[in-house]
Amino acid sequence: MEAGRQRQGRLWSNLKEVCDLLHIYIPTMSSIGDEELLFQHVQFKSGQRIHTIGQPFDTLYIVNSGFLKTLLIDEFGNEQVLSFPMKGDILGVDGIHSKQHASEAVALSDCDLILLPFKKLTALGRTHIEMEHAMYSVMSRELVREQAMVGMLGALSAEARVARFLVSLSDRYSQMGYSSKLFNLRMTRHEIGSYLGLTLETVSRTLSAFNEIGMITVDQRTICIRELDALKTLRRLPPSRSRAKQLAANKLKSAANKAPPPNGESWGQFVTA
């Protein structure tokens, strides 16, 4: 919780801290900062809901610390996870259009969020062109992200989805200053499955398979990335006939000469279009 200062027994952040979180660089920031605009923080405990579907919208949130999920709920009450926001991510953009939140956000850990009253933001945008453009930019970025998600759901196999999920987590952890190799999942297999359009069993099995291959080590929620490049380029494991052959071959080899069976190289050949 680097950003923020105490005032009235609460944490507040100034505009610069908010922009830094969002990875927005504003050259004339100092002149804006002079006004000492402050944004209030709010804390949520794990499991608490930040907003619900249909709830009136009037403020955006930025994640300062902690982990969350956002979700849609279909007509039968089933959750569809849309994203796993973490530090620097923005929440609530989908509420602008209808002035009601279109999704639900839930804390997966204790969280510290910064409140961005939408009216305050737009007013700011009016006096500072850079801020205005920053807002358009952030919204556009969210859209691009969703499009990438659609592309992934539309085109990739289960294994490729899980692999990309791990890679993106790795990226984000490293951006946040944590290890990109060794980290803990903050969400259940069920939530991952929902996010990726898979069942929790498929997620579990896929992680186990990656583990067996040696691309990762997995134990419950602890993940260790061993072959990042292999994960990045993986599109589809070989069809089961050849995979069966390969597995058999590997078993033979490892049985014969106690050598560690498959490595990143030996799986490169299976990274197919």
State the residues that interact with DNA by CB under 7 A: 157-159, 185, 188-190, 193, 197-205, 207-208, 218-221, 236-241, 243
Question: Rounded CA gap, 142 and 134, in Å?
Answer: 12
- Chosen residue from 96, 200, 209, 247 binding a copy of itself by CB under 8 A: 96
- In 143-161, which positions are buried (b, 16+ CB within 10 angstroms) versus exposed (e)? eeeeeeeeebeeebebbbb
Pick 123 or 252: Cβ nearer a copy of itself: 123
Question: Rounded CA gap, 195 and 204, in Å?
Answer: 14
Report the nearest approach of a copy of itself to the CB of residue 203 (Å): 13
**What does residue 183 show for φ and ψ, rounded to 5 degrees?**
-155, 170
Pick 8 or 76: Cβ nearer a copy of itself: 76
Report the nearest approach of DNA to the CB of residue 72 (Å): 17
Rg (CA), the chain: 22
Report the nearest approach of DNA to the CB of residue 239 (Å): 4
Report the nearest approach of a copy of itself to the CB of residue 171 (Å): 17
Q: What is the DSSP letter of 92?
A: -
Q: How many residues does the chain have?
A: 273
97 binds, among a copy of itself, DNA, none (CB under 5 to 8 A by kind): a copy of itself
Report the nearest approach of a copy of itself to the CB of residue 16 (Å): 21
Residue type, 41: H
Interaction of residue 120 with a copy of itself, rule CB under 8 A: no
Pick 72 or 139: Cβ nearer DNA: 72
Residues 6+ apart with CB under 8 A from 24: 134, 137, 138
Report the nearest approach of DNA to the CB of residue 210 (Å): 11
Residue type, 22: L
List the structure tokens of 10.
């609460």
Binding string to a copy of itself for residues 185 to 204, with x set by CB under 8 A, is what? Answer: ---------xxxx-------
Interaction of residue 238 with a copy of itself, rule CB under 8 A: no
Pick 133 or 251: Cβ nearer a copy of itself: 133
201 binds, among a copy of itself, DNA, none (CB under 5 to 8 A by kind): DNA
171-to-20, 114, 167, 178 alpha-carbon distances in Å: 18, 23, 6, 10
Report the nearest approach of DNA to the CB of residue 125 (Å): 40
Pick 72 or 247: Cβ nearer a copy of itself: 72
79-to-74, 88, 105, 193, 195 alpha-carbon distances in Å: 7, 24, 11, 11, 10
Residues numbered 133-172 forming contacts with a copy of itself, rule: CB under 8 A:
133, 135-144, 146-151, 153-155
Residue type, 21: L
151 binds, among a copy of itself, DNA, none (CB under 5 to 8 A by kind): a copy of itself
